Amino acid sequence: MTLDTSTEVTSAPPSGSRGARARSREWAERISRAVPSIGLIVLLALLWAAAALFVPEFANGSNLVNILRQSADLVIAALGVMFVLLIGGIDLSIGSVFGFSSVVLATLVFGGTPVPLAILIVLAVAAVAGAVSGALTHFGRIPAFITTLGMYYILFAFAQMISNGLALKLPPGTMLQGLSRGTVFGIPNVVLVAAGTAVVAWMVLNRTPYGRDVVSVGLNRQASRLSGLPVSRVAVGVFMISAVLAAVSAILLTARVQSGEPALGGLTGTFEVITAAVVGGTSLFGGRGTVLGVVVGAIIIRTIGNCITLLDISSLLYQTVMGVLILIALIVEAVRLRQKGGVE
Amino acid sequence: MPSSEIETPAAIRRRGLSPRLANGLGIAGAAVLIYLLLAAVVPYFATPQNMTGLLANAAIAAIAALGLTLVILTGGIDLSVGGVMSLVGLATVANVGAGVPWWLAMIVGMLLGAVVGVANGLLVALLRVPSFVATFGTLGITAGAALFIADGRPTVLLPREMIAFGNGSVFFIPYLAILAVVVLAVLQFLQGSTRWGVNTRSTGDNRHVAALVGVPVKRTLVAAYATSGLLAGLAGAALTAQLSTAGPQQGEPYTLAAIAACVVGGVDLLGGKGSLWAACLGAVFLAALRNAMNLQGVQPFTQDLVTGLLIIVAVFVTVSGRGAVQTLLGRLRPAQEVRS
Amino acid sequence: MTGPTASAPSLEGTAAPASVLSAREVVKYAYDETGAPITGSDVRLLKGVSISVRPGEIHALIGENGAGKSTFIKVLGGAIPAEQGEVAVEQQPVVFGSSRRARELGISVIWQEFSLSPKLSVLENMFLGEEITKHGLLDRSEMRRRSTAALARLGVQIDLDRQIDSLSTSEQQIVEIAKALDRDARVLILDEPTASLTGVEADQLFAVVQELRRKKLGIVLVTHRLDEVFEHSQRITVMKDGATIGTFDTETMTRESLIQKMVGRELGSYFVRPNAVAGEAVLEVDGLSCGRAVVEASIVVRAGEIVALGGLVGAGRTELCRLVVGADRATAGTVRLRGRDISRWTLRRRLDAGIAFVPEDRKSQGVVLAMSVQRNLTTRSWRSLSRRGILLSPRREQELAESLISDLEIKVHTPLQAAATLSGGNQQRVAIGKWLVKPSSLYIFDEPTRGVDVGARRALYALIAGLVERGAGVLMVSSDLPEVLGMSDRVYIMREGRIAGEYAAAETDESELLRAMLPETHAEVAS
C-alpha cells in the first residue's frame, strides 16, 4: 500500500476563501437549476407572440384572461399528478376522479347538502380513492399504472352508477355559481384558486419536510429509507394529493358547467393532465419537477387549445397535438438523462 | 460414460409436473369449471347462438391480447392498443370507401398498426422511456387522430363481404374466432420454434443476462411492440367488420380488455413468463363473464367495475405469489428495495 | 511499492509444461460503473499480478478480502480491460475486447452471479444467444444432444426442461460449466464456486471439476476454503494488496504457511485511537437470526468503544447490521439499545431512538447522489429545522449544512452542488455527516473506508474516534485487517452467518483473525 498522501480529485479553494467566490458559485448553481423553468416561460412567451401575430382575436385582453381562466383547473390537477411523478409513479385514474367527483358533488348539492360540506365530502372521498391506489401500489407492489388504471375503471363505474350515466343539473343560485363566475378585483375566482393551490404546492414542495421527503424518495428510495425518511407515508400520500387536487379541479369544472357530469375527464382528461405536468418539465423517471414549470406547462397546453378553437380547426386535433407534445417532452428528457448517464 | 444422477433432497421434492404444464392445466381446468358453472346458473348461456356471439367478441380481444402478450413477456406494457384499434378502424373504412378491396384494407390497417408499434418499440428500446409512458403517449396520438379523422362521428360504409366476415360463422364457429386461432397458431409457431421466442422471454426475464450472452435485446423489444401494433391493427379492422361501422372511440375499451385477458391468463407483468394460449383463454373467460352478466341484466357500468377489480385482484395474486417466494429468498439474502 | 513483504511477482513454473493461460504484470486502475479507468486517483486495484495456468491442473487463487482476486479474474475473463500487462492464451498474447471474445478463445468464467435466465429452461439457457438453427428453425434435437453430451462429459444428468430457478445452486453451476464445455473451453475460472453450497453439493461440484482436470482443462479456483485448496489443487497463487505474492506447489505448503503468506499487510501509522474508556452496554444483540444469512448472532457494543466486525465477504456482517437497524426483519433473537428491547421496532423508530447507520454501498444507499450536499446533510433534521414541524427555515438549514461542511472539512464549491459531484471520501463524509446533527448512542459503519483515498481515510478515522470520545458506541464492519486491528478495541469475527470468535484487538494478530474467518470444512446445512 502506498502511503503518499494523495490529493483529492476535486480540488477546492482553501477553506479561508469562502465568500465572494462561494456565493457566486451558489448563484450559478441556483440559476442553472432555474434554466428549465425559464426556458418554459420563454417558450410560452414565444407561443403567445406567435399566436398574437397569426391567430386573429388572440391578442385581446378578454381572450388572455379567458386562457388563464381555462388553465385554472388543469394547473391544479397537474400539480397533483406532479407529486406522483416525482416519486417515479403515474396516476392514470385522474380522468375518472373528475367525473366521479363531479357526480358526487352534484348529487350531494342536489340532495340539499350545504355546498361547503359537500365539497369536503368530495375531497375526503377522493383522498380515500387515492389512498387505496397508493397502498396497493406501495404495499401490494403492483405497478402504479395497473392500480390506477383499475381505479380509473372502478371510479368510472361508480360515477355511471350514481348518475345513471346522465348529467345532473345543479340547482341555481348555490355558491358554486358564484365560485365559478365571480371575480376579485377583476381577477376570476378560479384563477385565484389555482394561484393559491400553486403557492401552497410550492410551499409544500420547497419549504416543508414532507416535500423534501418526496423529492428524496423520488431520487433514491433505498437511501431515503435507510436515512429514516417515512417512505410509506410519501408513497401513499402522493396518490392522495393527486386525487384530492383532481377533485378540486373537478369541483371548479362542475361549477363552471353547473352540472354533475359523469363523463367529465375520461382517459383524455388523464392524458391532458399528465401532458401538462410533463411539458412542464416533470421527469417521468422521478425526482425532478417544479411548481412553476407545471403551471407554465398547463398554460401552454390551454393556449394551444385556445388557438385551435380560434383558428376554427377541429377541436378534435387537440388530443393528437398533446400526444405529440408528450412524446417530444419525453424525448428531450431521455436525451438529457442519457447525456448525464442517468438512466438505468 | 459414468453418470451419477444429481439427486439432492430438494430436487426430489421438486419433481413431478413441469411448472409450465401444471400452470397450463390449472388454467384450462379452471376455464372448464367456470364454463360448467355459468352454463348451469345462467339461462341461455350455453345455447349455440350465444356461444357464437361470445366467441366472436372474445376473438377480437384475444387477437389484441396475443400481441400484448409478447410485449408483457419482454417486461413492458402497451397501452396504445385501444387507440390503434380506433384509428385502424377508421382508416379501413376510408380505404374501402376509396375503392380498396376490403381484405387489402385490413392488411393496410395492420401495417398502420405496426408503424405505431415500431415507434413504441424505438422509444422503449433506444430512448429507454418506460413503456407505460411511451405507449400512453402514442395512445393519445392515435386516439386523438381517430377523433380528428372521424370528426367525432362514426362512419358507415362497408362492403357486404366484410360485414359477413365480421359476423358470419361456420358450424357455429365465427370466422373471427377462426382468425384468432390462426393468429395464435402462427404466433405460437414463431415463438416456439424460432429464436424469437427465447429472445423475447429472456429479454423480459433478465435483460442484463440476455444482453450479456448476446441476445439482441433492442431488436427483440422493437419486434414485440411492432407485433403488438400489427395485431392491434388486425383487431381494429376485425372490430370494424363486426360492428360494420368505425367509431372514433370504439377501440378504447380494448386496452383494458387486452390487459385483463393477459393478466387473467397468468402472463407475468414483470416479464419472462406467460403463454399465448392462456392469454386467449383469458379473453374467452372475460367475454364469457361479460356475456353472463349481460344475460343476467347486470348494468354495463357494473361490468366495468368487475373488470377493474378483476385486474387488480389477478395482478395481486400473481404478485403476492411471487412475494411469498421473495420472502423466502429474503431469509437468505438481504431484501432489495423494489422500485416500481 | 514500499511494503517489505510485497515481493516481486514470482513466475516460477512458467517453464514447463506450457501454460494454457498466463498473465504477466497486470495493472488495473480503479474503475467506475461503466468500466472506465479512474485516473488521477492513487487507488490501484491491481499493481502487477501474474499467473500461469497449465492444462490439467487445478490452480487455486487465494488472498484476503480486497486482495484483488475478483478484479483479476474479471481481467482474465475479458469483462474489464487492464491498463498494463499482458495476457496470453497458449503463449499467444491476446487482448480480450469482451467476455464473449474471451469465451471464443476458450476462457470461461463461472461467476458467483450466474449468467442464466432464471425463468427459462436448462436447454434454453444452454444456448441462449447462440441457438442452433436449421432453416431458421430451432434445432431442438441437436441442442438437446449437445447439452446431454456436455452434461455427460461432466458425469451428470439434469432434466433439460426444468426451469433454471427450480435447480439447486450447484446444479445451476453445473449448467454453466456444461455451457462452457460445449463451447470448447480450455480454461475454466471458478469464482468462489462453493460459497453457497452445502457439503454434498460441493462434493458433486468437485467430482465434475476433477473430471475436467483429467480432460486436460486448466482450472482456476478462487476460494476461501483452504481445505478445498489442499484437497483439490496442484498449485496455489497467493494475492495480497493487488499484487501476487507468489505461486507455490500445493504439496510444499501447509495451512499455516499459506495463512502467513496471505497476511502481513502493512500497518499504517494513520489510525487514530480514541481516548475513551468503555462504559455501559449500548447495544446488546442476543441470538439474532435470519435464515442462513445470520445464525444466532450475539454481540455487545459498549459506550466509548469501537467494536469491529470482521469476516469474509458474504459471512453475514452487512446482514447483521441491517437486522440491528431494522432494515430487514429477523426471524429470531433480540436487540437491545441502552437496555430497551427494540426488536419489534420499525427501522425509523430505531434510528430516531439513537442508532446511526452508514451503509456500505455509498452511492446507492448512503447518499442521494442527485440531491444537493446541503439536503443530504440535513436529511435527518428537516423536521427539527421547521417551525412546529411544518415550515422549514431555509436560512437555518443552510447554516446547519455550512457548519457541518466546515466541521467535516467537506470540499465543496457550494452546499447546493449535487452530492454526485464529490469525490468518494467527501461523499462518505456527507453520508456520515447527516448523523452528526443529533448525537446517536450507536454508530454502525459498514466498510467506512472502502473506495476512499488514503489521504481521506485518516480524516474518517479521526471522525470515528471523535464519536467514541463523546460517549457513543461504534460498530464497524471492515474487511481490512490492519484497519480492524488499528482502530478497534474488540473484534468479532463472523463466519457463515455465525459469530465465530471474539478477540481483544490488543491481544490478537492478523493471522489469528484470518484463521477464524476461513471456513474449516463445508457447512453442513440442513434444508
Do B129 and A284 count as a contact with CB atoms less than 8 A apart? yes
Residue A212 burial (CB count, 10 A): 25
State how far the Cα of A49 lies from the Cα of A45, in Å rounded to an integer. 6
Last residue of a domain, one of C439, C460, C485: C439
Three-class secondary structure of residue A236 per DSSP: helix
Q: With an 8 Å Cβ cutoff, are A319 and B302 in contact?
A: no
Calculate mean pLDDT across residues A234-240.
95
Q: Give pLDDT tens digits for B219-260.
A: 999 999 999 999 999 999 999 888 888 877 888 888 888 988
pLDDT grade for B340, boundaries at 50, 70 and 90: very low
Minimal Cα distance from B268: which residue of C?
Answer: C119
Q: Count the helix, strand and coil residues of chain B and give each as a percent rounded to the nearest 5.
A: 75, 0, 25
Whether B331 shows a pLDDT value over 50: the answer reads: no
| Per-residue pLDDT at A10 | 36
C433 touching A, CB under 8 A? no
Cell of B30: 379452471
In 3D space, the residue among C46, C57, C36 whose CA is nearest the CA of residue C1 turns out to be C46
Residues of B in contact with C133 (CB under 8 A): 194-195
Report yes or no: C353 and C342 within 8 Å, Cβ to Cβ.
Answer: yes
Which among C406, C421, C439 is the end of a domain?
C439
- Distance CA(C22)–CA(C14), nearest Å, equals 9
Question: If you count residue pairs, one on A and one on C, with CB atoms under 8 Å apart, how many are there?
Answer: 131
Nearest to C300 by CA among C502, C78, C8, C119: C502
Subunit contact B140:A344, Cβ cutoff 8 A? no
Residues 6+ apart with CB under 8 A from A332: none
Q: Which pLDDT belongs to residue C341? A: 92
Q: How many residues would you count in chain B?
A: 340
* Number of domains into which chain C is organized: 2
- Proportion of chain A above pLDDT 70, given as a percent: 89
B6 touches chain C (CB under 8 A): yes
Q: What average pLDDT score do residues C55-68 get? A: 85
Which domains, and CATH codes, for chain A?
64-340 (1.10.3470)
Average pLDDT over residues C218-244: 88
What pLDDT is attached to residue B10? 39
Mutation target vs C (from B202, B268, B326, B337; most C CBs, 10 A cutoff):
B202
Q: Quote the DSSP letter at residue C35.
A: S
CB C310 within 8 A of CB C494: yes
Q: Name every chain A residue with its beta carbon within 8 A of the beta carbon of B271.
A: none
Average pLDDT over residues A143-164: 87
Residue B13 touches partner C, C-beta closer than 8 Å: no
> CA C74, CA C81: separation in Å to the nearest integer?
8
Pick the range with the lowest mean pLDDT from A88-102, A191-205, B135-149, B303-317.
B303-317
- Bridge-based pairing of strands C107-110 and C187-191 is parallel
Asked whether the beta carbons of C337 and C354 are under 8 A apart, the reply is yes
Final residue belonging to a domain, choices C262, C277, C293: C262
- A112 is written with which cell numbers? 340539499
Taking CB atoms and an 8 Å limit, are A319 and B143 in contact across chains? Answer: yes
pLDDT class of B42 with cuts at 50, 70, 90: confident
Residues of chain B found within 8 Å of residue C200, distances taken between Cβ atoms: 8
- What end-to-end distance do the CA atoms of chain B give, in Å? 49
Range of the domain at C86: 21-262
Cell numbers describing residue A129? 380513492
Q: C359: which strand partners?
A: none
Rounded distance between C-alpha atoms, residue C72 and residue C80, angstroms = 9
Average of pLDDT values for B206-219?
Answer: 84
Rounded to a whole number of angstroms, the distance from the CA of B129 to the nearest CA of chain C is: 19
Task: Report, as an integer, the average pLDDT of C53-65.
Answer: 88
Closest residue in B to C116 (Cα) is: B209
Q: Does the complex come out with an ipTM higher than 0.95? A: no
Closest CA to B208 of C37, A338, A344: A344
Tell me, what's the pLDDT at C157?
A: 82
Q: Which of B1, B2, B198 sits opposite C128 (nearest CB)?
A: B198
CB under 8 Å to B300, separation ≥6 — which residues? Answer: A160
Which stretches of C114-265 are assigned E, i.e. beta strand?
Answer: 133-134, 137-138, 156-157, 187-191, 218-222, 235-240, 243-249
What is residue B22's predicted lDDT score, i.e. its pLDDT?
Answer: 63
Q: What percent of chain C has pLDDT above 70? A: 90
Q: B12: exposed, middle or buried (C-beta count within 10 Å: 0-12, 13-18, 19+)?
A: exposed
Question: What is the C-alpha separation between C462 and C464, in angstroms, rounded?
Answer: 5
Chain B residue with CA closest to A143: the answer is: B340
In chain C, which residues have their Cβ closer than 8 Å to the Cβ of A341? Answer: 34
User: What number is the average pLDDT over the span C275-283?
Assistant: 85
C21-29/C44-53 β-pairing:
antiparallel
A207: which chain C residues are within 8 Å (Cβ-Cβ)?
391-392, 394
Name the band, by pLDDT with cuts 50, 70 and 90, for residue C34: low
Q: What is the pLDDT of residue B157?
A: 65
Which chain A residues contact residue C41 at CB under 8 A? Answer: 6, 9
Question: How far is C93 from C85, CA to CA, in rounded Å?
Answer: 10
Partner residue opposite B148 with nearest CB, options A156, A268, A317:
A317
Q: Look at residue C37 in the predicted model and tell me its pLDDT.
A: 67
Check residue B303 and give its pLDDT: 78
Q: What is the mean pLDDT of chain B?
A: 79
Binary contact (A219, C375; C-beta < 8 A): no
Interchain pair A326, B140: CB under 8 A: yes
CA–CA dist C240, C5 (Å, integer): 10
Domain assignment of residue C500, yes or no: no
**pLDDT-based confidence at B212, cuts 50/70/90?**
confident
How far apart CA B121 and CA B129 sit, in angstroms, is 10
pLDDT on residue B111: 93
Looking at residue C103, its pLDDT comes to 83
In a domain, C321, yes or no: no
Q: Cβ contact (<8 Å) for C155 and B273?
A: no
Nearest chain C CA: its distance from B198 CA (Å): 7
Does B195 sit within 8 Å of C138, measured CB to CB? yes
Residues from chain A contacting residue B263 (CB–CB below 8 Å) = 146
Closest-CA residue of chain B to C176: B213
- Give the C-alpha separation, C484 to C474, whole Å: 12
Whether C15 is in a domain gets the answer no
- pLDDT value at A181 more than 80: no
Please name the residue that has the C-alpha cell 446507492. Answer: C364
Prior bond of C17 cis (ω within 30°): yes
Q: Among B132-136, C50-54, C398-402, which is the least confidently predicted range?
A: B132-136
> In angstroms, rounded to a whole number, what is the distance separating the alpha carbons of residues C448 and C478?
8
Residue identified by cell 426483519 is C329
| pLDDT of res. B324 | 46
How many other C-beta atoms are found inside a 10 Å radius of the C-beta of residue C69?
24
Q: Could you state, in order of their start, the residue ranges of all structural domains in chain B? A: 49-296+303-312
Mutate to test the interface with B, among A87, A139, A149 (most CBs of B within 10 A): A149
Distance CA A10, CA A258 (A): 62
Q: Are residues C190 and C63 in the same domain?
A: yes
Does residue C262 have a pLDDT over 50? Answer: yes
Rounded to whole angstroms, the Cα distance separating C204 from C522 reads: 13
Asked whether the beta carbons of residue C392 and residue A212 sit closer than 8 angstroms, the reply is yes
| Residue B54 reports pLDDT greater than 90 | no
- CA dihedral (C467, C470, C473, C477) in degrees, to 10, reads 10
**What pLDDT does B319 receive?**
63
Which three-class secondary structure state does DSSP give residue C216?
A: coil
Nearest CA in chain B to C527: B10
Count of pairs with CB atoms under 8 A, one residue in B, one in C: 110
The more confidently predicted of residues B119 and C166 is B119
- Nearest residue of B to residue A152, measured between CA atoms: B308
Nearest CA in chain B to A327: B137
- Residue A230 has what pLDDT? 93
Cβ proximity of C499 and C492 under 8 Å: yes
Query: Residue A91's pLDDT is what?
Result: 93
Percent of chain B with pLDDT over 70: 84
- Span B191-206, average pLDDT: 87
> In the predicted model, what is the mean pLDDT of residues C142-170?
85
A199 pLDDT above the threshold of 50: yes
The chains found to touch A (3+ Cβ pairs under 8 angstroms) are: B, C
- Worst-scoring range by mean pLDDT, A6-20, A283-297, C36-50, C123-137? A6-20
Q: What is the DSSP string of B162-227?
A: HHHHHH-EETTEEHHHHHHHHHHHHHHHHHHHSHHHHHHHHHHH-HHHHHHTT--HHHHHHHHHHH
Which residue from C365, C362, C359 is spatially nearest to C318, judged by alpha carbons?
Answer: C359
Q: Number of C-alpha atoms within 13 angstroms, CB side, residue A194? A: 29
**Spatial CB neighbours of C36, under 8 Å, sequence gap ≥ 6:** none
Angstrom distance (rounded) from CA B299 to CA C85: 76
Q: Supply the pLDDT for residue B249.
A: 80
> In a mutagenesis test of the A interface, which of B301, B302, B315, B319 is the best target, namely the one with the most A β-carbons within 10 Å?
B301
Which pLDDT band holds residue A3 (cuts at 50, 70, 90)? Answer: very low
Rounded Cα–Cα distance for residues C327 and A271 (Å): 38
3-state secondary structure of C42: coil
Answer whether residue B333 shows pLDDT above 80: no
Gap between the Cα atoms of B88 and B112, Å rounded: 7
Chosen for mutation from C323, C325, C345, C411 (greatest number of chain A CBs closer than 10 Å) is: C411
A149/B contact by beta carbon, under 8 A: yes
Segment C463-485 mean pLDDT: 89
Q: Is residue C276 part of a domain?
A: no
Cell 371510479 locates to A155
Nearest to C131 among B5, B195, B333 (CB): B195
Min distance A4 CA to chain C CA atoms (Å): 8
| Chain A residues with beta carbon closer than 8 angstroms to that of B151 | 314, 316
CATH 1.10.150 for domain B49-296+303-312, yes or no, is no
Q: What local confidence, expressed as pLDDT, does residue A195 receive?
A: 93
Report the amino acid identity of residue C421: T
Res B335: pLDDT: 33
Query: What letter represents residue B177's amino acid?
Result: A
Q: Is the pLDDT of residue A7 over 50?
A: no
What residues of chain B lie within 8 A of the CB of C115, using their CB? 209, 212-213
Distances (CA, A) of B138 to A272, A324, B70, B86, B117: 13, 8, 18, 13, 9
CB-based contact B334 C328, cutoff 8 Å: yes
Task: Please give the average per-residue pLDDT across C262-272, as a whole number.
Answer: 66
DSSP B33: H
pLDDT surpasses 90 at C215: no
- Helix B276-295 / helix B175-193 crossing angle, nearest 10 deg: 160
Mean pLDDT of chain A: 83
Give me chain C's average pLDDT, please.
83
Q: pLDDT tens-digit profile of B261-289?
A: 888 887 887 778 888 888 888 888 888 88
Contact B209, C176 (CB under 8 A): no
- As a whole number, mean pLDDT of residues A253-271 equals 84
Minimum-distance CB partner of A153 among B248, B256, B338 = B256
Q: In 3-state terms, what secondary structure has residue A241? A: helix
**What is the CATH number for C42?**
3.40.50.300
Looking at beta carbons, which residues of chain B come within 8 Å of C204? 4, 6
Of A133-142, B219-228, C341-350, C454-463, minimum mean pLDDT range: C454-463
In a domain, C204, yes or no: yes
Q: Is the confidence at residue C257, as pLDDT, over 90? A: no
C68 within a domain of the structure (yes/no): yes
Instruction: Identify the band that residue A263 occupies on the pLDDT scale cut at 50, 70 and 90.
Output: confident
The nearest alpha carbon in chain C to A227 belongs to C380
